[in-house]
Amino acid sequence: SEVKKIAVIAGDGIGPEVVAEAEKVLKRTEEVFGYAFETEHALFGGIAIDERGTPLPEDTLEICRSADAVLLGAVGGPKWDNNSKELRPETGLLGIRKALGLFSNLRPAVVFDCLKDASTLKPEVLEGTDLMVVRELTGGIYFGDKLRRQGEHGEEAVDTCVYNVMEVERIVRQAFEIAGKRRNKLASVDKANVLETSRLWREVVNKIAPEYPEVEVEHVLVDNCAMQLLRRPASFDVIVTENMFGDILSDEAAMLTGSIGMLASASMGDGNYGLYEPVHGSAPDIAGQGLANPIATILSLALMYRLTFGYEDAAAAIEAAVAEVLDAGHRTSDIAVDKSKAISTSEMGDLIVAAI
């Protein structure tokens, strides 16, 4: 079959280690399923600041643009935290999302059986939790005008939150499509009792809803959603919301599963183009020691196969291999009950490769 191009961004901290394991899995799926990939590595984040003086070099963007999908490890670390805005990894992250038009961030929050005790929630509350946060990723207060000015009461700072109908429509439509392929439930989260952007958001949801009569829609205020995620996590299927609320709620949802170190995410643009990355961060404290868990990154690759390439066989095989290795009791130290039996990053990668 046709050769697909994947831009690979290892990034900072444990990024290079976990990405290396995902690349082993990629090679294995080429052999087993006959797919052909060309990978090209690109500098991004802290390492790009160090080596190139900017978190998002132009040639990195070029590599990503010429690829069919991007696999990202993790970026950031204390080393760059006190840099000026233009020299911070986060600025690169916001920049790449905007430049590649990745307006839709999919964050599935599921409970891994072997990790359900890791949650701080009671097992009976968590039972059956399997939700997906669809977060708008290139609009809202993240990208609106920002400024400092002198006001009546001293210096003041301003952030602007803007949404237009097109931006809301495309993400809401995607959320309806996703809900339709899952359990047909969509919770649209806003603060329509206070914000004008939320009122627009709600109008668009109500306008589109009749096109998806099989999907049951509920409007949930963001403060109430923060509570209901704790109270009845299993009752949610798809949650769609704007950028800032999605940032907060997707992290809350991921944490309550207890499985945050194992969760994959996708940031999608128009068509099937997407950037795939683990939900966890760059964990600089354990970087370079072979302690990192590569599963979330490997599952991000599976998500890429499914959503960008439609290689469902390879996606399912990766997921089954991960389940098999976990069922056999293998654990990296982050998820090991008995740390003395923990295996390394590359041992975990090798076991998953062998199980495919």
Q: Point out the residues that are catalytic.
A: 142, 191, 223, 247, 251
Residue 30 contacts ligand IPM per CB under 6 A: no
281 is in an annotated binding site: yes
Encoded amino acid at 245, one letter: F
73 is in an annotated binding site: no
CA distance 253 to 241: 13
Q: Which does 84 bind (CB under 5 to 8 A by kind): its own copies, ligand IPM, none?
A: none
Per-residue x/- mask for its own copies, residues 125 to 164, rule CB under 8 A? x---------------xx-x-xxx--xxxxxxxxxxxxxx
- 82 touches its own copies (CB under 8 A): no
Burial of 278 (0-12, 13-18, 19+ CB in 10 A): buried
172-177 LR contacts (CB < 8 Å, sep 24+): 172/201, 172/204, 172/205, 172/208, 172/240, 173/208, 174/104, 174/134, 174/268, 175/134, 175/238, 175/240, 176/208, 176/209, 176/211, 176/212, 176/215
The tokens of 286 are what? Answer: 């354990």
Residues within window 239-268 making contact with ligand IPM, judged by CB under 6 A: 247
The single-letter DSSP state of residue 109 is: E
In Å, how far are 25, 143, 185, 285, 354 from 350, measured between CA atoms?
8, 41, 38, 24, 6
- What's the min distance (Å) between Cβ of 225 and its own copies? 8
Nearer to ligand IPM, 224 or 272 (CB): 224
3-state secondary structure of 222: helix
Interface residue with its own copies among 227, 316, 337, 354 (CB under 8 A) is: 227
Is 5 annotated as a binding-site member? no
179 contacts its own copies (rule: CB under 8 A): no
Element containing residue 8 per DSSP (H, E)? strand 3-11
Q: Is 293 annotated as a binding residue?
A: yes
Please, where are the H alpha helices in 262-311? 295-304
Q: Does 223 bind ligand IPM (CB under 6 A)?
A: yes
Is 141 known to sit in a ligand binding site?
A: no
- Binding its own copies (rule: CB under 8 A), the pick from 32, 36, 165, 320 is 165
**Residues in contact with ligand IPM by the rule CB under 6 A:** 90, 93-94, 193-194, 223, 247
Q: Which residues are annotated as a binding site?
A: 77-90, 97, 107, 135, 223, 247, 251, 281-293
**Residues in contact with its own copies by the rule CB under 8 A:** 88, 90, 94, 120-122, 125, 141-142, 144, 146-148, 151-167, 191, 193-197, 199-200, 222-224, 226-227, 230-231, 244-245, 247-252, 254-256, 260
